[in-house]
Amino acid sequence: MNINRNANQLRVCVGDRQFGLKEEDQMALSMSFDTVIRPYFTPCYRAHMVPANLDLWDYDTVKQAWQAIHDSVKNKKMPVAGCAEGVWDDRTRDQFIADFVAWKAGGFPK
Taking a C-beta distance cutoff of 8 angstroms, is the pair 37, 60 a contact? no
* Nearest distance, CB of residue 54 and ligand HEM, angstroms: 6
Task: Tell me whether residue 79 or residue 109 sits nearer to ligand HEM (CB atom).
Answer: 79
The residues in 40-79 that bind ligand HEM, with binding defined as CB under 6 A, are: 41, 45, 48-49, 52, 54, 56, 65, 68-69, 72-73, 78-79
* Nearest distance, CB of residue 25 and ligand HEM, angstroms: 28
DSSP 18: E
Whole-angstrom distance, CA of residue 90 vs CA of residue 61:
25
Burial category of 8 from C-beta neighbours within 10 Å (exposed 0-12, middle 13-18, buried 19 and up): exposed
- Site residues, ligand HEM (CB under 6 A): 41, 45, 48-49, 52, 54, 56, 65, 68-69, 72-73, 78-80, 82-83
